[in-house]
Amino acid sequence: MATYNPFETAQKQFDKAADLLELDQAARALLRTPMREYHFSIPVHMDDGNKQVFRGFRVQHNDARGPAKGGIRFHPQETIDTVRALSMWMTWKTAVADIPLGGGKGGVICDPHNLSQWEQEQICRGWIRQISKNVGPHTDIPAPDVMTNAQHMLWMLDEYEMIYGERAPGFITGKPVGMGGSLGRTEATGYGTIITVREALKELDIKPENTTASFQGFGNVSQYAIELYHQMGGSTICVSCWDQADQTSYSFRKKEGVNLKELLSITDAFGGIDKSKALELGYEVLPGDAWIEQEVDILLPAALENQVTGETVGKISKRVKIIAEGANGPTTIEADKEIFERKIFLIPDFLANAGGVTCSYFEQVQSNMNYFWEKDEVLGKLDLKMTAAFIAVSDFARKHNLYMRDAAYVISVDRVAQACKDRGWI
Ligand code: NAD
């Protein structure tokens, strides 16, 4: 299987937008690479008495429109280029959602499956100790991402507050509710993705109750996306996930539609579904790639980057009308061309999954004023922001006869380049 470098993908996507916008050389040079990046070591006293050193990163791609913002992921195959790409996509995401933040991303090369809670706490606290001078509520605001959660964020916040000797709840988002977290944050990314799907269906004049969908991944994004999609009347035929024991992925299919509650009852905290229990409940257990070849109306990749590739794109059924990228960077450049040529309605990642960062922004606002909104208020504001962002991109795409990804890029890159110009940077 070919290997893909997500940073190269992100740069190629940016170059295309820069060409469309006829950006000058200085703007290109500034925006196609991160402004700052930090690489560091995190020593941890392991439970077995050994000491192990983990590698950590923080990349701040751009903060012209506001403090850098982006998650921290724990992953055994984490690379600096993945973090660079993700930080760049965060810049476009906060710009397309039109919130006053920039783009950043962090990571640690580690596998939480094999780490105790205490070992994970040390990694979180160590990460903050290495970078505390370069992040903060007015500089760079982290959040959870793949394999990190509210508990990790609270350990990080606590360490940061210990260093500075004061409370700083606006420093980090994705905190537990009751400890400065926002109601609705857990649901926000998945719900936000489905809000964009709802708007795309309206444009295509298709009723959600007449549609079916297939999801890659069954973690935070997919679980809440499926919840809202089912509330709208849609039916999910297939979901896939990573199987830690077998070190491979599987797809789980029920042609009459999966039951979310039932699937959640056999899923672990990492979004892994128990194969034998799924078989008992009447699910077909298929190879990992099967999610992409289902005869459905909507495909929703929500696992990792580089999953829809030149090798897998040909498997997409003729029936598919919408691809909503819940994950960051799930589609390679090669596959993207084919999706464009086949006229599938694509909702690009940094628009489709902007609900998470939008709600993180709401969390930061609530934390800073120490006044918390009811869940309905948060979700109502989320709906308004996501709908407005979707309509801005789809109107622009229609008006200028552009592919949805290109339209989203042009809007975002233009906003960020303008902020850099207004500040006198370029
Ligand atoms: P998660 O860790 O909660 O879940 C990930 C899911 O993907 C799990 O079900 C896992 O089993 C599955 N998976 C992993 N590797 C796989 C593979 N090779 N094949 C099939 N399934 C696989 O993560 P999440 O928070 O749901 O995030 C998913 C994606 O969405 C990531 O790309 C993340 O960067 C992006 N995203 C998340 C948020 C958020 O708020 N959670 C916001 C924006 C973007």
Give the pLDDT score at 293: 98
304 lines ligand 1 (CB under 6 A): yes
Segment 169-213, tens digit of pLDDT: 999 999 999 999 999 998 999 999 999 999 999 999 999 999 999
Reply yes or no on whether the pLDDT at 2 is more than 70. Answer: no
Distance CA 23, CA 137 (A): 31
| pLDDT value of residue 400 | 96
Q: What is the pLDDT of residue 12?
A: 94
Distance CA 65, CA 369 (A): 21
**Using CA atoms, how far apart are residues 59 and 252, in angstroms rounded to an integer?**
36
Q: Which residues contact 76 (CB under 8 A, 6 or more apart)?
A: 109, 110, 111
The pLDDT value given to residue 13: 93
Residue predicted with more confidence, 186 or 409:
409
Which of 3-12, 19-28, 63-72, 193-202 bottoms out in mean pLDDT, i.e. has the lowest? Answer: 3-12
Which residues, in sequence order, are CB contacts of 22 under 8 Å at separation 6+?
none
| pLDDT of 71 | 96
Match 């290997």 to its residue by tokens: 3
Full set of structural domains in the chain with CATH: 36-181 (3.40.50.10860), 186-352 (3.40.50.720)
- Nearest in space to 124 (alpha carbons), one of 197, 49, 174, 79: 174
Mutation test residue for ligand 1: of 78, 86, 141, 146, the one with most atoms within 8 Å of CB = 146
pLDDT at 271: 95
Q: Which of 84, 76, 31, 23 is nearest to 58 (CA)?
A: 84
E strand or H helix at 249: strand 248-253
Per-residue pLDDT of 114-137, as tens digits, reads 999 999 999 999 999 999 999 999
The reported pLDDT for the residue numbered 4 is 79
Residue 3 pLDDT exceeds 90: no
Mean pLDDT for the chain overall:
96
The tens digit of pLDDT for each residue in 328-370 reads 889 999 999 999 999 999 999 999 999 999 999 999 999 999 9
DSSP 264-316: HTTB-TTS-B-HHHHHHTT-EEEEGGGGGGS--SEEEE-S-SS-B-TTTGGGS
Residue 217 above 70 pLDDT?
yes
Q: Give the tokens for residue 314.
A: 């040909």
Are the CB atoms for 240 and 218 separated by under 8 Å?
A: yes
Give 125 Cα–ligand 1 centroid separation in angstroms.
Answer: 24
Reported confidence tier of residue 302, pLDDT bands at 50, 70, 90: very high
Is the CB of 312 within 6 Å of ligand 1?
no
Category of 272 on φ-ψ map: left (φ > 0), alpha (ψ -120 to 50) or beta: beta
Which mutation among 149, 242, 263, 358 tests ligand 1's pocket best, with the greatest number of atoms within 8 A of CB?
A: 242
- pLDDT tens for 35-60 read 999 999 999 999 999 999 999 999 99
User: Which residue's entry shows tokens 């997919």?
Assistant: 222
Q: Distance between CA 19 and CA 27 in Å, rounded? A: 11
What pLDDT sits at residue 146? 87
Q: Which two tokens stand for residue 338?
A: 């084919």
Distance 418 CA to ligand 1 centre (A): 32
Average pLDDT over residues 397-421: 97
Residue 1 has pLDDT above 60, yes or no: no
Closest atom, ligand 1, to C-alpha of 174: 40
Q: 413 phi and psi, to 5 degrees?
A: -60, -40
Report the C-alpha gap between 171 and 149 in whole angstroms: 15
Token pair in block for residue 161: 């507050």
Tens of pLDDT along 234-262? 999 999 999 999 999 999 999 999 999 99
Query: Are 416 and 64 a contacting pair, CB within 8 Å?
Result: yes
Active site residues: 105
Q: 253 - beta bridge partners?
A: 238, 284
Mean pLDDT value across residues 75-86: 95
Asked if 326 and 351 count as a contact pair (C-beta separation under 8 A), the reply is: no
pTM, whole model, 2 decimals? 0.94
- Ligand 1 centroid to 400 CA: how many Å? 33
Specify the pLDDT at position 363: 97
